[in-house]
Amino acid sequence: MVDTAGTLSKAADALRQAGAHSVSAMATHGVLSGSGKENVQNSSLDKLYISDTIAQNDLPSKISVISCAEILSKALWRIHTSASLEVITNL
């Protein structure tokens, strides 16, 4: 989960100082409250990938949203048909 992105920004800075050529991050939930979007945009991160579990508008160019629709629909169908969810966890 990324909220204000303060810790994430500091981690990206530390990785760059340690010699990383690029830094990307992924988070299940992009809360991005307060100055979160600005913090990401002004950080050392090249890209932040978040899921669409929390609706967001006007995201800066460093943030990309990945849809959860396919995996959620597969899980719901498997639950509805009493099928195993194990194949979903192996994706």
In a domain, 44, yes or no: yes
In a domain, 1, yes or no: no
The one-letter amino acid code at 11 reads: A
CATH number of the domain that residue 66 is part of: 3.40.50.2020
Q: Which two tokens stand for residue 33?
A: 């409250």
Give the C-alpha separation, 23 to 68, whole Å: 23
In a domain, 60, yes or no: yes
- Residue 91: pLDDT band by 50, 70, 90 thresholds? low
pTM for the model stands at: 0.84
User: pLDDT tens digits, residue range 35-88?
Assistant: 999 999 999 999 999 999 999 999 999 999 999 999 999 999 999 999 999 988
The CA-based diameter of the chain, rounded to the nearest angstrom, is 51
Q: Which domain holds residue 25?
A: 6-89
Tally of domains in the chain: 1
In a domain, 28, yes or no: yes
